[in-house]
Structure 1
Amino acid sequence: MTKIQSETPAAGAVTPSNVESGDRLGAAENSLLHVEVQEPAVKHNPIIAFFLFLGSFMIPGLGMFCEAYFVFAVGNLKSLWKKEYPDCWSKHKTCPVTLSDSITYTQVCGIIFGQIVLGFFADRIGRKWGSVSTAATMVVGAILIIASKARTDKALWAMFTAVQFIFGIGVGGEYPVASTSANERAESSSKLQKRRGETVVLVFSMQGWGNLVNTAVIIAIMAGFQQYGPKYDSYALEVSWRLSYAIGLIPLISILLYRIFRLRESAVWQKKREALEAMGGNKAKGVQWRKFGLLMYYFWHRNFGTAMSWFVWDFAFYGNKLFQGTFIKIINPKASVIQVLEWTLLNSAVALVGYYFAAFTIDHRWMGRMRMQMMGFSWMFVLFLICAVHYDALRTPKYIHTFQFLYYFSSFWGQWGPNATTWLLPAELAPTEVRSMCHGFSAAVGKAGALVAGVVFNLVSDRAKFWISAFCGLAGVILTFFTIPDITGLDLREGDRRWLAILDGNHGYYHGEAVNPKYLSIFERMLGYGRNYRPEATPTQVVSYKEAVPTQLAEMRTPKAEVAVGRTDSS
């Protein structure tokens, strides 16, 4: 077993293992230096160019479209189910209260499971087959949702709840796979490297379209059956919700077939695998556990920051989404089912605009990731605080439209802020080798926030929901300020070079841009990670294993502070 120094070496120090590490790491770095996918320069007319631009994010984002279409359908359809199944959903004669509420909880549990498990495997089987796995799981779950049938209401909703877990697994896997794939697609293209944030957020914006289209489809179907209330036809409502799910199955099957037959593997992921093979580290016994330990040691604060930021955002965001109908009932207590959906559609449209504000500003240095996240959380705190403080007055006819504006405006700032950045940052801040796993972990913690929100929001008053959402925004501001670095403009390959140095036990010899203080969080600066930064280092000189003259090797002693890394002696 090869031994390495556990402490930062003195400047100019060289050990025999350093030179060996330099050769090994140099071979690994050669695999990272040339990742760009050369695209032929073809000039299209403006119309074709526009549609190619749309396809560049709509096709990769179709998985997020489908997951949002099905996930938010539960919140959209609850008011409909209360009319069709009153004994189960309203009076609770045939179903316990816990059964109807458990649909949301079960779905979120499935999402958490998928984020952790499929996120882990996507780093090992590749982005393509990770994407295929998530889409296939969602297709199976969607078919079972549509086919849910039983003789009694209780049995029907028990089956519906169970299959939501299956669908949720696929949804959970889509989060890390889609984000990491979009990041790596931007990283591998010279045209997109400076627009990485825009590329990823545009893919994510398809989530907003999924929510919007689902609401519009339900409204259109109910209007077709003339279900305007107050009297409803049970058969028409039955067809409405099942048909809305069936329509969502069409793009889901399409994206599965596309990923099987047309999707190419991530060039960045492949190059990273080559780099690791050059180091010989993956063949050693227990190497994965040692890598996990190194990840936690050097990146725990980043994972904590992204995970907890996502937690407080999802607590407020999913709590509001799942209880959106309740909020709209406060604004318009006499609203019919279709009127509630129309207000929901308006809210979704306002939120969708926020996605595009996020996409087209996130790569500018005057905005960046950290500022955008803090800005969104700050607005969320202010707007929900106003709603909580003036709750009684805002419910009066005089101020009801002000209440409506505040609630919808909060949706806009949520998208132009933490909803976009919490999806982007976990993949950006992690090395390629563990990118999907880290994103899955942060996303799972975030969905735990949604799960807690589903429980807590059922137990508190409507006014208290606004208080809780406001203080979630304040917590997000504090977390972002201390733990989130702004890596706008940083080449992600620098993070991979740093990771290779960490794996080789020579983190102190890395001097590149990944440890530039401007790309580190306040907490990382306090830990001293920026001390090793050397502005004069070129991309091929960021790891200084051979700085001293060879004659120094004879004078070197074996360091006392040593730890074993996951390599065989022959590596």
Structure 2
Amino acid sequence: MAGQLGVLNALDVAKTQWYHFTAIVIAGMGFFTDAYDLFCISLVTKLLGRLYYTQPGAPKPGTLPPNVQASVVGVALCGTLAGQLFFGWLGDKMGRKRVYGLTLALMVVCSIASGLSFGSTPKGVIGTLCFFRFWLGFGIGGDYPLSATIMSEYANKRTRGAFISAVFAMQGFGILAGGVVTLVVSYSYDRKYKLPTYEQNPQASVVPSFDYVWRIILMCGAVPAALTYYWRMKMPETARYTALVAKNAKQAAADMSKVLQVELEAEEEKLQKLTQEEGHNYGLFSKQFVKRHGLHLVGTTTTWFLLDIAYYSQNLFQKDIFSAIGWIPPAQEMNAIHEVYKISRAQTLIALCSIVPGYWFTVLFIDYIGRFVIQLMGFFFMTVFMFALAIPYDHWTKKENRIGFVVIYSLTFFFANFGPNATTFVVPAEIFPARLRSTCHGISAASGKAGAIVGAFGFLYAAQSKDPSKTDAGYPTGIGVKDSLIMLGVINFFGILFTLLVPESKGKSLEELSGENDEDGAAESEVSSRIVSV
């Protein structure tokens, strides 16, 4: 074997420097925007129902029909799935940097356009909103494989897990920011108008200017993305892409010499030998790929798929769960804007107390206890807490027990983020070859978004009450919240089993993990031995 290139070894052993933190902020602000845009829609769907679907004289304010709500919530996830596959592939073909700015520009434009959705009828407005949110999701999807790959290829091997998970942890702040922005906007409108509840006066419980509320909230998602666009375009291409994929040792050495502030040798002859060795130019889904990384790809795709069914079901529809247990009052007991305030307050508390801390616990411990242990532990506790909510569900619906429900519900979010929600993002960026890394991460992430779509569409219908009298006229009944929570617990349990297919990547160079410096592939043998021992 030709051995490790000097420029790549320099990256692996580099001390933590300012450029590491710069890269985290630049890549992380994309994820901040991603989370804000994906989850803020759940805060305003109740308001959209009141504005566009309230029937005159109805005993309760209008809500979005399940098919419309599923479309509004799920269409961005469909766009995200498509974007992950497309930009993941493009990142390996054209380079990470060349397409990195495009994803951010798409997010900025479509965030603004979503808030400007137009139409003369409710269907027109919702249809336009869904169109722009699909393309917003398409841009968001591209950010997953590109940000993960760029951060993994910039980081040193000692703290690589912390750096990649820190980028992903910005999602927590994005969810929190969505709640805070919605709180501020809704509180301002609530104080200004001081409207009666729907029960007191249905017509007076909402005013036309409330149409601006959801638009302002959606358009705010463009701000953080726009602020980091310039810096994202200034980042140099990663040395691993330039050297191992573009095969330009001179440019890789020049770029990293500036980043690391040291003189690095180009090593063109060594690169030529390394990239021409037999067994190191196989394509995606070739026999060689299946032998070396087939189980890895199965592991990363299945665990991310299962995780996102549970995670997005809980996140996007937590307002419905809180309404079901009575933590949020019935809609008719509030005016339109106060309902938005109550929902955003609940999400902000969950984000502040469990989601954000969970992400940063992963950042702190991932390079000490490893990806495999964190993922296994996360799925285990998510399973336990989900069953703890579901089995005695009637107990939790009593008023005096609601705080206990919220605490346990928060713990499922904590261990999702101090667990598989972070590790499923980190590992695919480490274990695949450089020329396929972005593509394989995109495939893994797209599998996750397929799970999110199942969660968004499936849980919406499944969580509908079994009792027809408790659903709005014409809406289908479901299996109820209790049985839906049991289903999510079972899904988390299967996540434990498929985690066995995922290798541990702590403390190893990317080339060791992918087998680019080892003909047999160390990660392959680790997973095989783990399966045999089980």
TM-score, reference length from structure 1 = 0.76
Question: Contact 1:64/1:207 (CA < 8 Å) preserved in 2?
Answer: yes
Check if 1:199 corresponds to 2:153. no
Structure 1 residue aligned with 2:490: 471
Give the Cα–Cα distance (whole angstroms) in 2 for the partners of residues 430 and 195 of structure 1.
18
Question: Partner letter of residue 28 of structure 2?
Answer: G
Aligned length: 469
Give the Cα–Cα distance (whole angstroms) in 2 for the partners of residues 252 and 274 of structure 1.
29
Give the Cα–Cα distance (whole angstroms) in 1 for the partners of residues 342 and 123 of structure 2.
28
* Unmatched segments (≥5 aa) in structure 2: 198-203, 249-270, 331-338, 463-479
Give the Cα–Cα distance (whole angstroms) in 2 for the partners of residues 297 and 493 of structure 1.
17
Give the Cα–Cα distance (whole angstroms) in 2 for the partners of residues 390 and 171 of structure 1.
38
Check if 1:414 corresponds to 2:420. no
Give how far 1:495 is off: 3.1
User: Residue 205 of structure 1 aligns to a residue in which SS?
Assistant: helix
* 1:4-44: CA deviation from partner (whole Å, max 9, x where unpaired): xxxxxxxxxxxxxxxxxxxxx63x854775453998999xx
Picking from 331, 334, 342, the partner of 2:329 is: 334
Structure 1 residue aligned with 2:109: 140
Picking from 5, 27, 52, the partner of 1:85 is: 52
CA 1:288 to 1:146, structure 2 compared with 1: closer, same or farther past 3 Å?
A: farther
Structure 2 residue aligned with 1:382: 384
Structure 2 residue aligned with 1:263: 235
Give how far 1:523 is off: 5.5
CA 1:41 to 1:327, structure 2 compared with 1: closer, same or farther past 3 Å?
A: closer
* 1:513-558: CA deviation from partner (whole Å, max 9, x where unpaired): x3595xx22457749xxxxxxxxxxxxxxxxxxxxxxxxxxxxxxx
Question: Contact 2:305/2:451 (CA < 8 Å) preserved in 1?
Answer: yes
Picking from 305, 310, 315, the partner of 2:304 is: 310
Check if 1:348 corresponds to 2:351. yes
Question: Contact 2:501/2:531 (CA < 8 Å) preserved in 1?
Answer: no
Structure 1 residue aligned with 2:31: 64
CA 1:521 to 1:234, structure 2 compared with 1: closer, same or farther past 3 Å?
A: farther
Check if 1:486 corresponds to 2:504. yes
CA 1:63 to 1:117, structure 2 compared with 1: closer, same or farther past 3 Å?
A: same
Structure 1 residue aligned with 2:177: 213
CA 1:53 to 1:269, structure 2 compared with 1: closer, same or farther past 3 Å?
A: closer
Question: Contact 1:32/1:272 (CA < 8 Å) preserved in 2?
Answer: no
Question: Contact 1:127/1:266 (CA < 8 Å) preserved in 2?
Answer: yes
* 1:425-471: CA deviation from partner (whole Å, max 9, x where unpaired): 11112111111111100111111111111222123211122101111
Structure 1 residue aligned with 2:254: none
Question: Contact 1:426/1:438 (CA < 8 Å) preserved in 2?
Answer: yes
Give the Cα–Cα distance (whole angstroms) in 1 for the partners of residues 158 and 415 of structure 2.
24
Question: Partner letter of residue 148 of structure 2?
Answer: S
Identity rate, percent: 26
Question: Partner letter of residue 243 of structure 1?
Answer: I
Question: Contact 1:222/1:236 (CA < 8 Å) preserved in 2?
Answer: no
User: Residue 365 of structure 2 aligns to a residue in which SS?
Assistant: coil
Structure 2 residue aligned with 1:558: none
* 1:151-196: CA deviation from partner (whole Å, max 9, x where unpaired): 1111111111111111111111111111111111114xxxxx3111
User: Residue 179 of structure 1 aligns to a residue in which SS?
Assistant: helix
Give how far 1:242 is off: 1.3
Question: Partner letter of residue 124 of structure 1?
Answer: K
User: Residue 366 of structure 2 aligns to a residue in which SS?
Assistant: coil
* Unmatched segments (≥5 aa) in structure 1: 1-24, 43-48, 188-192, 502-506, 528-571
Question: Partner letter of residue 355 of structure 1?
Answer: Y
Question: Contact 1:87/1:95 (CA < 8 Å) preserved in 2?
Answer: no
Give how far 1:205 is off: 0.8
* 1:459-507: CA deviation from partner (whole Å, max 9, x where unpaired): 3211122101111111111111x211112111112235x2366xxxxx3
TM-score, reference length from structure 2 = 0.81
**Aligned 1:209-288 pairs, distance under 5 A:** 209-226=173-190, 230=197, 232-260=205-233, 262-273=234-245, 278=272
Give the Cα–Cα distance (whole angstroms) in 1 for the partners of residues 532 and 434 of structure 2.
25
Structure 1 residue aligned with 2:364: 360
Question: Partner letter of residue 118 of structure 2?
Answer: K
CA 1:357 to 1:159, structure 2 compared with 1: closer, same or farther past 3 Å?
A: same
Give the Cα–Cα distance (whole angstroms) in 1 for the partners of residues 497 and 285 of structure 2.
30
Give the Cα–Cα distance (whole angstroms) in 2 for the partners of residues 71 and 471 of structure 1.
25
